[in-house]
Amino acid sequence: MTRIAVVNCNTTETMTETAAARARLAVGPGTEIVAVTPSWGVESAEGWYDSFISAAAVLHTLEQLPDDIDGVVMAGFGEHGREGARELLDIPVVDITEASAHLALMLGRRYGVVTTVARAAGQIEDSLTAAGLIAHCAAIESTGLGVLELDADPIRTAEAFVTAGERAIARGAEVICLGCAGMAGLEDFVGSRLPVPVVDGVAAAAALVETLIRQRLTTSKIGSYARPLTKARSWPAG
């Protein structure tokens, strides 16, 4: 049995379960998805301040992963911590931001991201730049909805994503990436309303992690992602 941890970037359990449920649909019957929520951090990551707190909480959580976890999905779109997680762990780590972009580029030459609040755009740009994927990003469009608003009115949320997707297409996007783990499951509705493929990052990341595990591929420990140096470190007690 292959076990993949889907790690939320915030402390909201319902969002963890949304992401985990979508991941389960993307992997084979021999793969178990383990939902993981940090015990401290932020209830929703929206902005640089939240993102850095989230990254610390996620890295603390990853230090305590069970030994039988074979791979990790980082379910925060544009949040920090990806590179640190790859230093920390010997198993494959895939972030939903880069996973969705990688799959999008197999379907079209230019992709767009539809995200929650406008302030998330800078973080997403930086994440895609660090992953070497920004050159083919045509647009990052906001729905204007906060992360915790996504479940409040599903119809309003779905329509907001369609509208933002239409703006991204008008700017040259040939594929749309859903830019938040809380949007998992919206791809079918949004895709039925838009003339382009729609990629969900959680599903993309889960499928990619599963593939890496099956190919027995692990993160390189020479250079960039070498193990962290041995030294005294401490975390919050709560």
**Domain with 47 in it: what CATH number?**
3.40.50.12500
Structure tokens at 172: 């040259």
Residues 113/124, Cβ–Cβ less than 8 Å: yes
91 & 109 share domain: no
118 & 80 share domain: no
87 & 105 share domain: no
Residue listed under structure tokens 């976890």: 69
Has residue 155 got a pLDDT over 90? no
169 & 209 share domain: no
CA atoms within 13 A on the CB side of 72: 33
In a domain, 235, yes or no: no
79 & 140 share domain: no
Q: Who has greater pLDDT, 83 or 186?
A: 83
The mean pLDDT of the chain is 94
Tell me the per-residue pLDDT of 57-99, one tens digit each, with 9 for 90 and over: 999 999 999 999 999 999 999 999 999 999 999 999 999 999 9
Residue 133 corresponds to which amino acid? L
124 & 191 share domain: yes
Candidates 39, 44, 77; CA nearest to 61 is 39
| Terminal-residue alpha carbon distance, the chain | 33
101 & 72 share domain: no
3-state secondary structure at position 89: coil
pLDDT at residue 181, as a whole number: 82
Has residue 237 got a pLDDT over 70? no
Query: What is the average per-residue pLDDT within 186-215?
Result: 94
Tell me the per-residue pLDDT of 7-34, one tens digit each, with 9 for 90 and over: 999 999 999 999 999 999 999 999 999 9
pLDDT at residue 238, as a whole number: 53
Global pTM reads: 0.94
* Beta-carbon contacts of residue 138 (< 8 Å; ≥ 6 apart): 110, 111, 112, 168, 171, 172, 173, 174
